[in-house]
Amino acid sequence: MNRREIVLASIVHVLGARPNFVKAAPVIDALRARGAAQAVVHTGQHYDERMSEIFFRELGLPEPDVNLGVGSGSHAAQTAALMIGLEAEFLARTPDLIVVYGDVNSTIAAALVAAKLHIPVAHVEAGLRSFDMTMPEEVNRRLTDQLSDLCLVTSPEAIGHLAAEGVPTGRTHLVGNPMIDTLLKNLDHFDTAAVRAAHGLPERYVLATVHRPANVDDPATAAALVKHLHGVADLADLVIPVHPRGRANLIAAGLDTHPGVHVLEPLGYIDFLAAVRGAATVVTDSGGLQEETTILGVPCLTIRPNTERPITITHGTNRLVTFDDLVPQTRKALETERGEGTRKPPLWDGAAGPRIADVIMEFLGE
């Protein structure tokens, strides 16, 4: 365990995976401006340098006060290790509030530990629902919301979801999307030409990311997906930074055997969003990328039967597709003008971090 000197902190942020870092950066910055005492606990759920440390550098996040170094494992093993490590940290720091982000295992582990220690929890990105309980993320987000004292929601439909589940309305606050704060703050740094030059990419390409268990964990499913991705590559070059999860199955299925497929290692935040910004179309099963393409005006095809972010469909560029729909929908997207007919979701304006900080400071004052 890498540890700096422990100091008492009123607020502890628990971060585990790259989407957490992007959401946390504007919140930590806004709380710092208000003079809040803060500590950052990095659980090490994402431990590859390109999935973790580079994000801290690029986003201006403070160096974590501790890295638990949990790493990968089954859901049970990883969550248990997270809870043991987080309990020790919370007992040592005696915080007034734990802030958790998104829906990864670090999120639910921190919420459970805090609840048992009677420490209040604030959940950033509360209320999102896919209504698919086969998704580990759906289990995590539902349980985290029930344990949270502050449910900080990114889009209006989340308010209704929380109310339907019996969360008192006084806990719920519509604050906007801090992930979009980070995107807008860094927009001028997304240099698509530089990324193309660095990786030898063509001027016109489709960018893909896949990592959901339902798409990559089963070898037969991964092979079927690769077949359709090759179909996309028949239409335009396909650029795919390969997530550690699923890499073995995708490569075994021949992902890199098509001459139009460019397999890359995971990219840092700036380079990845630069590549997204320059893409003709994005193919993904990521949640956050549905949001980022909505703001960037890039057509997005989400290879899932559902989404917990329907506002990216009603107010953005996102469409849900099946494997069989992927090639014809890509062809259609490639013929569509960028950003056509899109509306930006409410409060996705770059000021979610300050709104979250205001809610937290008021809560702590009370």
Active site residues: 211
3-state secondary structure of 184: helix
DSSP β-ladder status, 38-42 and 11-15: parallel
What is the CB neighbour count within 10 angstroms for residue 120?
Answer: 18
Going residue by residue through the chain, which has 366 residues, state the pLDDT in tens, using 9 for 90 and above.
444 444 434 999 999 988 999 999 999 999 999 999 999 999 986 555 555 678 788 888 888 999 998 877 888 999 999 999 999 999 999 999 999 999 999 999 999 999 999 999 999 999 999 999 999 999 999 999 999 999 999 999 999 999 999 999 999 999 999 999 999 999 999 999 999 999 999 999 999 999 999 999 999 999 999 999 999 999 999 999 998 878 999 999 999 999 999 999 999 999 999 999 999 999 999 999 999 999 999 999 999 999 999 999 999 999 999 999 999 999 999 998 775 556 899 999 999 999 999 999 999 997
Nearest to 21 by CA among 1, 48, 2, 40: 40
Q: How far is CA 255 from the centre of its chain?
A: 24
The DSSP line for 73-125 is --HHHHHHHHHHHHHHHHHHH--SEEEEETTSHHHHHHHHHHHHTT--EEEEE
Taken in order of first residue, the domains within the chain and their CATH numbers are: 2-177+348-365 (3.40.50.2000), 187-334 (3.40.50.2000)
Cβ 26 vs Cβ 358: under 8 Å:
no
- How much is the pTM? 0.93
